[in-house]
Amino acid sequence: MKRRLFVLLSLVAFAAGCRTRELPHIRVSDFQDRHHSGNPVIKIACVGDSITYGAGIDGRETNSYPAQLGEYLGSGFQVRNFGRSGATLMRNGDLPYWTTPEMTDADEFQPDVVIIKLGTNDTKPQNWKGRAPFIADYTALIEHFRGLKSKPKVWTCLPVPVYGDQWGINAATLDLVLEATQEVCDKRKVPVIDLNDALSAHPELFPDKIHPNAAGATLMAKTVYQAIRP
């Protein structure tokens, strides 16, 4: 109970802190010098795990959150889904995102914007090695994408809620992931999209307690769009 209260108060304090400075949105003019066309297509890479991939969603190709985000943003944007089921953020996890073909593809895409939603699989007992390694690897991932030739703007997402312990994924460790993600955001000046808050109190959107359904993906897409909208 004390842990839950601490996390809640931390989230409230963090959110208040973020609101004291304007969170950045996409400005098309920021990308004019990267494209030869006067009306550039802005490339957005959605990096993540099975929740980004759209596991369990009927018609994943059109109903996953990246696909729906692309619909909200419109023709001036190219949104690509680089989600990998089971991927961890930490490099010593059982399936590090770092070693996946999706990571390589995301790099080669040379995005203008990167949206990272990782951390859920890191809550599994065999993956969670503590706050410090998680923070170090998250920081390294952010700087990896920032270092691409395209110099993308990076947003991070607080993972969606866990409504029941499944496959080792658990809510207690997710609290630690949320805290660590906030710390990375604050230190690296990376804006956060709070998917945890957006999908809280909506267990009906999670048929298996872990993965949101198409309606949950819609809520994710709307939340991301509101955060980065041009």
Please write the tens of the pLDDT for every residue from 210-221: 999 999 999 999
Angle at 119 between CA 49 and CA 159, to 5 degrees: 85
* Mean pLDDT of the region 135-144: 98
Q: Which domains does the chain have, with CATH numbers?
A: 39-228 (3.40.50.1110)
Name beta bridge partners: 48. Answer: 83, 117
For residue 15, what pLDDT is reported? 43
* Mean pLDDT of the region 65-80: 96
Task: Name the nearest CA neighbour of 200 among 63, 4, 3, 1.
Answer: 4
Cα–Cα distance measured from residue 50 to residue 86, given in angstroms and rounded to the nearest whole number: 6
Given a cut of 80, whether residue 14 has pLDDT beyond it is no
The pLDDT tens digits for 176-212 are: 999 999 999 999 999 999 999 999 999 999 999 999 9
Given a cut of 60, whether residue 89 has pLDDT beyond it is yes
For residue 229, what pLDDT is reported? 87
pTM: 0.86
Cα–Cα distance measured from residue 70 to residue 68, given in angstroms and rounded to the nearest whole number: 5
